[in-house]
Each structure stands twice: as structure tokens, then as C-alpha cells.
Amino acid sequence: MAPLRERAKLNASVLKKQYEEIPGSLEYFRELIRGPVAEAKFLRRRLGEMFTQEMLF
């Protein structure tokens, strides 16, 4: 992980941005990949359907 962290810090520096690590877990990603998927956690759209701001609130 250290080489990726150093690369991210360098990218932030080049872009004149602040590097920040936010603690978290991989549980959301694991659920997305492995299932079962809790319907309330994901927005599903058919091909060509658009997301609107109202869907998020």
C-alpha cells in the first residue's frame, strides 16, 4: 500500500491539492461484488435511464 500512498501524495502535490486519507472499510464493496445486495443501498437504472437529484433525497 505504501507505493500507492506515495504516488497519491505526489499526484496531490502536482495538482496543488491536499492529500487526505479517510478511514473506512471494504464492506460496501464486498457486498456489491459478492451479494446479497440490500436494495436500499443501491440505485438501479435501466440502460438509458437518467439519475436525477430527487432520487438521492
User: Average pLDDT by consecutive 10-residue portion of the chain (57 residues)?
Assistant: 93 97 89 84 85 83
What's the grid cell of residue 47? 440502460
Neighbours of 9 (CB within 10 A): 12
Q: Which three cell numbers stand for residue 55?
A: 432520487
**pLDDT confidence of residue 9:** 97
Instruction: Tell me the three cell numbers of residue 39.
Output: 436494495
Distance of CA 41 to the CA centre of its chain: 13
pLDDT score of 47: 93
Angle 18-24-28 from CA coordinates, rounded to 5°: 125
pTM of the model: 0.47
> CA quadruple 27, 31, 33, 38: dihedral positive or negative?
negative
